[in-house]
């Protein structure tokens, strides 16, 4: 009886050891496959921080990378999502007045796309909509209940406002290949670029499908005196208002004293 029990324990131990080995092999296989898939595309930025100072007039960041073979590359830059308002103006009694306001709670504060070839030549419309590649494919849903026509009108107005402000690029940028594998593109950020955490997504496309992707973070932040003023205006508005009034009074008094001397 003891011998049989001992043999049973030995058989069970061996069985458990075999199952553990199989499980470990499975985990290693999945990890290896994931690593190989991820290495089909590797990309990085020349800088992961855009520092906005008092004299900031806009800047460019270089994105560069490599692929494991021939394919098309698309770069999608998305700023932090923020609330946005769209107002409709109409003439009332001879004056232009805001007659309707629509709220968008999740609108990207910045959006740009760069590709190695025109989008309609490398991916289908279905994939564009699924990956939200390109401004027309962005999900921009208003909070208010609108019919289809009104929703389209206010959505188009929001996109026009963003493009007019320069935070939605009106044209697609260019990704340049150096040979079959190395690629690069310049990402431009205007002077009024919103602060926050940006996602820079690089997509490798083959035969109309995304076969690999990599997301790289980019931080846009105010630094120095401008950051202190911005923080005060946002978190201590009363103090900011008092100091602004005192500064205006002091500037007026100084100017008046200078003229009196003359």
In terms of domains, do 19 and 61 share one? no
Is residue 252 included in any domain, yes or no? no
pLDDT band at 24 (very low <50, low <70, confident <90, very high): very low
In terms of domains, do 3 and 94 share one? no
Is residue 256 included in any domain, yes or no? no
pLDDT of residue 255: 53
In terms of domains, do 119 and 212 share one? yes
CATH number at residue 123: 2.60.40.1930
Top pLDDT among 8 and 65 is at 65
pLDDT of residue 261: 56
Top pLDDT among 146 and 246 is at 146
In terms of domains, do 87 and 130 share one? yes
Average pLDDT over residues 110-137: 91
In terms of domains, do 24 and 149 share one? no
In terms of domains, do 34 and 102 share one? no
In terms of domains, do 144 and 63 share one? yes
| 151 backbone dihedrals φ, ψ, rounded to 5° | -60, -40
Sheet containing 182-189, strands listed edge to edge, beginning at the edge strand earlier in sequence? 41-45, 59-67, 182-189, 176-178
pLDDT of residue 222: 87
Q: How many Å apart are CA 131 and CA 210, to the nearest integer?
A: 9
For residue 193, pLDDT over 90 is answered with yes
In terms of domains, do 1 and 82 share one? no
CB-based contact 221:87 (threshold 8 Å): no
Is residue 258 included in any domain, yes or no? no
Number of domains in the chain: 2
Average pLDDT over residues 233-238: 57
pLDDT band at 83 (very low <50, low <70, confident <90, very high): very high
* Domain interval for residue 30: 1-38
18 DSSP assignment: H
In terms of domains, do 102 and 214 share one? yes
Average pLDDT over residues 121-146: 88
For residue 235, pLDDT over 60 is answered with no
Q: How many Å apart are CA 218 and CA 207, to the nearest integer?
A: 30
In terms of domains, do 88 and 188 share one? yes
For residue 18, pLDDT over 60 is answered with no
């Amino acid at each position: 009886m003891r011998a049989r029990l001992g043999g049973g324990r030995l058989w069970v131990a061996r069985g458990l050891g075999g199952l553990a080995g199989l499980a470990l092999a499975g985990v290693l296989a999945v990890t290896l496959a994931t690593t190989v898939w991820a290495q089909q595309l590797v990309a990085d930025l020349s800088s992961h921080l855009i520092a906005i100072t008092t004299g900031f007039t806009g800047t460019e960041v270089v994105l560069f990378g490599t692929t494991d073979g021939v394919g098309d590359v698309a770069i999608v830059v998305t700023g932090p999502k923020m609330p946005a308002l769209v107002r409709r103006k109409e003439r009332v009694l001879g004056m232009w007045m805001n007659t309707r306001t629509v709220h968008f709670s999740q609108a990207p504060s910045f959006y740009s796309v760069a590709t190695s070839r025109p989008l309609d030549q490398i991916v289908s419309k279905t994939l564009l909509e699924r990956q939200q590649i390109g401004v027309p494919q962005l999900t921009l849903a208003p909070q208010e209940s609108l019919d289809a026509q009104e929703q389209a009108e206010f959505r188009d107005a929001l996109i026009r406002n963003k493009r007019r402000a320069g935070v939605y690029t009106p044209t697609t940028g260019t990704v340049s290949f150096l040979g079959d594998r190395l690629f690069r593109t310049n990402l431009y950020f205007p002077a009024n670029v919103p602060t926050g955490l940006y996602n820079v997504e690089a997509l490798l496309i083959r035969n109309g499908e995304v076969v690999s992707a990599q997301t790289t973070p980019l931080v846009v932040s105010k630094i120095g005196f401008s950051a202190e003023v911005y923080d005060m205006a946002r978190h201590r508005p009363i103090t900011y208002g008092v100091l602004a009034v005192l500064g205006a009074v002091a500037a007026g008094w100084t100017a008046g004293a200078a003229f009196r001397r003359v």
